[in-house]
Amino acid sequence: MNELARVIEALLFLSPEPVSVDLLTDAAEVSSGEVVEALARLREHYAEGYRGVVLREVAGGFTLATDPVAEQAARRLLAKPRTPPLSQAQGECLATVAYLQPVSRPEIARIRGVASESAVGTLLERGLIEESGRSRFGAILYRTTDLFERLFGLSGLDALPDPASFDPTPEQEGELRERLVRAGEQRASQGP
């Protein structure tokens, strides 16, 4: 492994967040091509399988992560009080924001068919969504955050599962279709 690859590895080790090629380029004072080449060398180095760490591309950057073979041992070592899992309401709100962003809380409520203030508030507190402006009617618009992408292991929003792969029952399909048509009509009547 060459010196630049070692420098890039050290930068990734030091950063608690994924680091983009641009930031690595600036920090190492080299060209982006050299950084990409160093990342490729690191990837090869870690692919040899003799390390407990792997190089991952997530949330628009690169990070060092625990090798999946060490997952259970790492969980035991780092066992601590965990953040409670998302409730069904929070999961529904998060999925709505992820697929329709930017989207307002009233739109989320229309799609879900129930009030969503509490769930949206919790997602904001946990840092999974953030404000991204206002609609033309003044409602706050929300989008997902980089933390959302990291926690769900997404390299970007284009890595979200295809909703076409969801296979609902005929009853669920009818209810979903009705909600989506209503939401689409309301959104269309509001304009861009």
Ramachandran quadrant class, 113 (left: phi over 0; alpha: psi -120 to 50; beta: rest): left
- Pair 36, 29: CB distance under 8 Å: no
Of residues 79, 67, 65, the one with CA closest to residue 15? 65
Per DSSP, the residues of 9-76 read HHHHHH-SS-B-HHHHHHHHTS-HHHHHHHHHHHHHHHHTS--SEEEEEETTEEEEEE-GGGHHHHHH
Backbone angles phi, psi at 65, to 5 degrees: -135, 160
What's the confidence (pLDDT) of residue 81? 60
What's the confidence (pLDDT) of residue 181? 72
pTM of the model: 0.54
Backbone angles phi, psi at 85, to 5 degrees: -65, 165
Domains in the chain with CATH codes: 3-68 (1.10.10.10), 88-190 (1.10.10.10)
Q: Which residues contact 66 (CB under 8 A, 6 or more apart)?
A: 52, 53, 54, 74
Low-confidence ranges of the chain (pLDDT < 70): 1, 49, 80-82, 183-184, 186-192
Backbone angles phi, psi at 30, to 5 degrees: -135, 175
CA gap 89, 175 in Å, rounded: 17
CA gap 42, 9 in Å, rounded: 7
What's the confidence (pLDDT) of residue 187? 61
What's the confidence (pLDDT) of residue 35? 94
What's the confidence (pLDDT) of residue 183? 67
Q: Helix 21-28 to helix 32-47 angle, to the nearest 10 degrees?
A: 110
